[in-house]
Amino acid sequence: MIIGSVVLAAGKSERMKQNKLLLCINGKTLIENVLDALTAADIGEQVVVLGYKLDEIVEVIKPRLGKVKIALNLDFEKGMTSSFQTGLMVISHVDAVFLVLGDEPILDSNVLAMMVQKMESNSEALIVSPIHDGKKGHPLLFSRQLFGEILSLSGTQTIRDIVQSHTDQLATIEAPSWVTMRIDTPEDYARISNLVKNSRKIEDT
């Protein structure tokens, strides 16, 4: 299977009051950590969807351009669905695509690999989601068979509608708690940064 990824990086980070994708964890920005994880998982087709203050993010990912493609969503204020559609149109030749949030604090390449393996081994799975303690997380992996439905979403329809329409074709894998964590506020950033630092200390002992 040829696996691609669409990284959503077009939002305004309004609750953070600064571009949260440029916040640092483990000495790198969130967007750099995400792209590194995709590369480590051998996801060769990577598209970053930009919108608000795109120059700031382009400057950070400039060394990766060539391997990483950029898609511009002029309608980024319409939300995540429009950005995913924008990126998907660039990468619609792949067999399956990861929907990746650019602000994921920890994107585990091992989890990505397990998700791909799950889809490859289950012919009925059109969507693969990581879960932790029964809660679905991110990223999501979508089969090419759903690309048409995703691209046809309009108005108030969302990616969640696609997932809910295909619950019988949704496969899951157990994953660490990171898959359910988000950084939306300064408090989120402080809490998750401390969690990462503490986990690093435990690994080093």
**What is the per-residue pLDDT across 152-195, written as a single tens digit (0 to 9) for each?**
998 888 999 999 999 999 999 999 988 988 888 888 889 988 88
Lowest-confidence range among 26-35, 74-83, 117-126, 191-200? 191-200
pLDDT of amino acid 202: 41
pLDDT in tens, 116-142: 999 999 889 999 999 999 899 999 999
Q: How far apart are CA 103 and CA 33, in angstroms?
A: 9
For residue 36, give its domain range: 3-204
pLDDT of amino acid 200: 56
Query: Can you give the pTM of this predicted structure?
Result: 0.92
Structural domain total, the chain: 1
Identify the CATH number of the domain in which residue 45 sits. 3.90.550.10
